[in-house]
Copies of this chain bind each other. A is one copy, B any other.
Amino acid sequence: MKVSVFRKEHFNAAHRLHNDELSESENARLFGKCNYPNYHGHNYELIVQVSGETDAKTGYVMDMKVLSDLIKQEVIEAYDHRNLNLDVEDFKQIIPTAENIAVAIYNRLRPHIDHTKDLKIRLYETERNFVEFPAG
């Protein structure tokens, strides 16, 4: 039977929400304070869930130290203390909403997780606003 393991990591980043194809007033209307021109930022809390069979030799679905190192290498290294709009390739064409950041993190991690295992991302932008991908 399958067990899920979860590992929590965090990063601090600046961003703003802006759609280059829309007018300034439309951007202001859609995104409010999140559209302010000089960026704001968050302490993002990231929870990565991996689900699968437990290995008989180790009692692990996946070694959480290995999972932690993987998240640090593939996600934290690229996002932490960065401006998501200006510094991160993932968001050159895509607005860095919490929803889109979660999908981008999924795409960064999926190739590195055993294909027999399921992957889910939960991302807290603030304590009160968070997202999950895939939905569940």
Interface residues of A (CB under 8 A from B): 1-10, 12-15, 17, 19, 22, 30-34, 36, 38-43, 49, 51-52, 54, 57-61, 63-65, 68, 80-83, 86-87, 94-100, 102-103, 118, 126-136
Contacts and interface: CB of A to CB of B under 8 A. Distances in A.
B126 A57 contact: no
Nearest first, the 4 A-B pairs at minimum CB distance are A41-B41, A38-B83, A59-B97, A2-B135
A38 B130 contact: no
Nearest to A129: B64
Q: Is the interface of A mostly helix, strand, loop or mixed?
A: mixed
Given A1-B103, A41-B42, 16 more contacts: A3-B103, A3-B134, A4-B131, A4-B135, A6-B130, A7-B129, A8-B129, A12-B40, A14-B14, A14-B40, A34-B81, A43-B43, A43-B126, A51-B135, A51-B136, A60-B97
A103 to B, nearest CB: 7
